[in-house]
Amino acid sequence: EVQLLESGGGLVQPGGSLRLSCAASGFSFSSYAMNWVRQAPGKGLEWVSDISVGGGGTHYADSVKGRFTISRDNSKNTLYLQMYSLRAEDTAVYYCAKKLTGYYTFDDWGQGTLVTVSS
């Protein structure tokens, strides 16, 4: 059974930094591209970033480009999202999601971790 377990969320001041982790199990992590998707309180889903199987290819939504960095450690089956210069509008539940091979979509989602940016 695929399991994706996010951690690292919490309360951070505007301008601060935070690193999220997503521990994967139940599948061959190194064989799948991975993503981060977020959901602001009471709002819809917003794709944040993706990373290729080897980690050499990354893409970001314009809203986080230059402030967030996605990475992965295939030896630890873990996905990361390093967030810098956080803003109030970054407040959201952050989900890690596994890409469905052959399709531009996500077939497994974690339970999410809440990031709150507030003074």
Partner 1 sequence: QSVLTQPPSVSGAPGQRVTISCTGSSSNIGSGFDVHWHQQLPGTAPKLLIFGNSNRPSGVPDRFSGSKSGTSASLAISGLQADDEGDYYCQSYDSSLNGYVFGTGTKVTVL
Interacting residues toward partner 1 by CB under 8 A:
35, 37, 44-47, 50, 59-63, 95, 100, 103-112
Instruction: Indicate the residue among 16 and 53 with the shorter CB distance to partner 1.
Output: 53
Closest to partner 1 by CB, 73 or 107:
107
Q: Which residues pair with 35 in a beta bridge?
A: 50, 97
Q: How far is the CB of 84 from partner 1 (least distance, A)?
A: 20
Cα–Cα distances in Å, from 112 out to 38, 66, 102? 8, 23, 24
Taking residue 110's Cβ as centre, other Cβ atoms within 10 Å add up to 23
Do β-strands 10-12 and 113-117 pair in parallel, antiparallel, or remain unpaired? Answer: parallel
How many of the other CB atoms lie within 10 Å of CB of 49? 21
CB of 92 to partner 1, least distance (A): 12
CB of 19 to partner 1, least distance (A): 21
For partner 1, the closer of residues 11 and 40 by Cβ is 40
